Amino acid sequence: MKLHLTSYPLGDKRESSRRGGYVIFAVLIVIVVLSLVAYRFTAAMSAEARASARANDDAQVKLAAVSGLHYAAAVLSDRTTFSEELDSNPFDNSTIFERIEVPAAGGSSRKSAYFDVRSVARLDGGTYEQRFGAIDEGGKININSMMALDPTGNLLYNALMQLPNMTADIADAIVDWVDADDVPRASGAESSEYQSLSNPYKAKNGPLNSLDELLFVRGVTPDLLYGGDRNRNGVFDDGESGTPDLGWSDFLTVYGRELNVDSTGTVRAYLNGELDTLLPQLTQLIGDELATYIVAYKMFTATKTDASGNLQTTTTTTTPVSMSSGSGSTVTAGTVTVTLTSTQPKQTPVTTATLAQLQDAVQTKGESNGWTGKNKVNSIFDLINTRITLPRAKDAKAEDLDVVAFSPLLDASKRNELLGSLMDKTTVTKDVEMIPRINVNTAPREVLLGIPGMTEGYVDTIINTRADQVPGDAATVSGAWLITTANIPSSTFQQMEKYVTGSAMVYRVQSIGYFEGGSGPVARMEAVIDTNQGAPRFLHIRDLTDLENPRGFDPSKTSQ
C-alpha cells in the first residue's frame, strides 16, 4: 500500500495562528468596553440614587417646614391652647415651638424630620434676638390702616418720619404711592414721574398687597426696606454688607385684622343699643354699679367734672383782631377764639345717690319712657369724669337737695378695677370688622412714637412697664393698663384710642424643617397667619430656603 502525504506551506499555519490571536484580543476589548459601560451605568445609577435620596430628603424637610406653618396656625388660633399651653405668650416659648417631630409615614424605614417655629425679635435697644415663637404684625405700622384712618396721608407721613433712615422725600413718595389721588405731595412722586422712566408704570394709588410693592416707590431700596441682614436671621454673617438689621420691614406691614370682640372672642356690648336689654347685659359683664351708671348717663343730664368730681364749665369767647392800615385807620384782620375751662366746687348742697337710688331712678324712668336714652356715648372715656343729677321727686320741696350720682370711674381704685373690663367688654360702634390698630404691647419705640398724642415720656413708661403686665388680662388686651399702670391721662388716651389696642390677631412665623442633629438639608418657610376666631387662614406664604446661605438658623443649637 502506498501512502500519499500532502504537505502544506508553512506560511499558512502562521496566518491561522495570527487570526486566533486577533479573536482573543477582540474578546478582551469587548469585555473591557462592557465593563466600562457597566461601571458607568453603575456610577450613574448610584448618582441617581444619591440624587433621589437627596431629593427625598429635601422634600421631607420642606414638608416638615410646611407642617410647622400649619402647627403654628393651629396653636395660635385655638383660644384654649393659646391661654393654657402657650400661657398667652406666643413670642418666646421653646416648650411649644422647638423641635417638633414629624414622623415618617407608617411602616417607612425613613428617619423622622423635625421643625422649629422661629422668629427674629427686635429688642428695644435696636439689637436682635432669635426666639422660638411668632412676630405680632399688629405691633407694626399698617400702611393700609393708616390711610383708612386718615386719607390725607398726614397720619402715615408722621408715623413714617419716626423710622430710622427715613427722609421727607421718601415718606412723601410712599404716601403718594398709596393715596387715592394723583397729585404729588410737597416732595413726593406720582404717576407722572414714574411714567417718565425707561420702564414706565403707574403709582398704585390704593392699598398695598405686599410690602415688596414699596420697592417701586422712588427712593426705596432693598437695603432700606429689608436691611443688610440678607438671610434675615438677626445675625451679621460673613458675606453680608451694610447694616445688620431688617430695615423698615421691622416696622411696616400691610397685613392686619381686628374684630370688635372681647378677650374671649365674644362680640362686645354696644353701649348705644336698646336700654332694656343693655342693662342686664352690662350688669353681667361689668357689675351693678357701673352698668347702672352707664344706663343712667344715657337717660339723665350728665355734667363734665374734673378728676375730683368738681363741675367744669367751658366758656368760649371770640375777639376781633385789628391792625393799622398805614393811613391812620384800623382794619379787622381776623378773630381770635379763646376757650376757657373753669372748675367749680363740688357744691356741698347735694346728696350723693346710693346705688339703690340710682337703680330705682333708672327703673322708674325706663319703664315710664319706654327705655329710651337721650344721650349717646361717643367714647368710653366720656363716662369717666362725669356726674349725673337724678330727676327730682314729684313731692320734692324747694329746699330739698339735688341727688347726684358720681361716675364710679372717678374713684382711682375702682377705675383700676373696672376700666379694663369696661374697655374689653363694651364698644361705642356697631362695626364688627375694625380698622386694625397698633398693639402697644408689642410695638417698638419707633412705631409708638408715631401714634398721635404720644410723647417720649409716655413711650419710655410703656416700654419699661409692659413686660410686667399679665398676658390675657382684660386691662392688657384692651390697652387700659396705659391709664391704670402707665398713668397716661384718660383725656390723652382718648386721643389715642382709635389708633391703639392691646390685642393681636395676625402673626408672622418662620418654620425650619430639618433632620436630627441638624445634618443634611434644611428648609425654611414663612407665613402670615390670620387667627380668624379659631378658623385660621394664611394671608401670605413664602419659601425662604434660598436665604439659607449662610445658614440662618442652626438646628443643632437648641434653647437648652
Does a cis peptide bond (omega within 30 degrees of 0) precede residue 521?
no
Rounded CA-CA distance 465/124 in Å is 13
Which of 358, 417, 425 is CA-nearest to residue 387? 358
Which of 167, 137, 143 is CA-nearest to residue 156? 143
Lowest mean pLDDT among 45-49, 105-109, 143-147, 488-492: 105-109
Average pLDDT, integer, range 494-505: 95
Rounded to the nearest integer, the mean pLDDT of the chain is: 87
Q: Which pLDDT score is estimated for 346? A: 47
Rounded CA-CA distance 85/90 in Å is 10
Taking 50 as the threshold, does the pLDDT of residue 350 lie above it? Answer: yes
Rounded CA-CA distance 219/235 in Å is 26
Which of 222, 268, 274, 283 is CA-nearest to residue 248? 222
Express each pLDDT in 283-319 by its tens digit. Answer: 999 999 999 999 999 999 899 888 777 776 555 556 5
Average pLDDT, integer, range 362-382: 90
- 99 sits in the region (left: phi over 0; alpha: psi -120 to 50; else beta) called left
Taking 90 as the threshold, does the pLDDT of residue 235 lie above it? Answer: no
Express each pLDDT in 506-550 by its tens digit. Answer: 999 999 999 987 778 999 999 999 999 999 999 999 999 988 777
Q: Which pLDDT score is estimated for 280? A: 95
Express each pLDDT in 440-486 by its tens digit. Answer: 999 999 999 999 999 999 999 999 999 999 998 999 999 999 999 99
Confidence of residue 492 (pLDDT cuts 50, 70, 90): very high
> What are 211's three cell numbers?
410690602
The helix/strand/coil state of 394 is coil
Q: Which pLDDT score is estimated for 46? A: 75
Taking 70 as the threshold, does the pLDDT of residue 2 lie above it? Answer: no
Q: Which pLDDT score is estimated for 306? A: 83
Angle, in degrees to the nearest 10, between helices 275-286 and 412-425: 120
What does pTM read for this prediction?
Answer: 0.84
Confidence of residue 425 (pLDDT cuts 50, 70, 90): very high
To the nearest 5 percent, what fractions of the chain are helix, strand and coil? 40, 20, 40
Contact predicate 171/161, CB 8 Å: yes
Rounded CA-CA distance 161/153 in Å is 12
Which residue in this structure is represented by grid cell 424637610?
A: 61
Taking 80 as the threshold, does the pLDDT of residue 221 lie above it? Answer: yes
Rounded CA-CA distance 280/102 in Å is 50
> What are 270's three cell numbers?
354696644
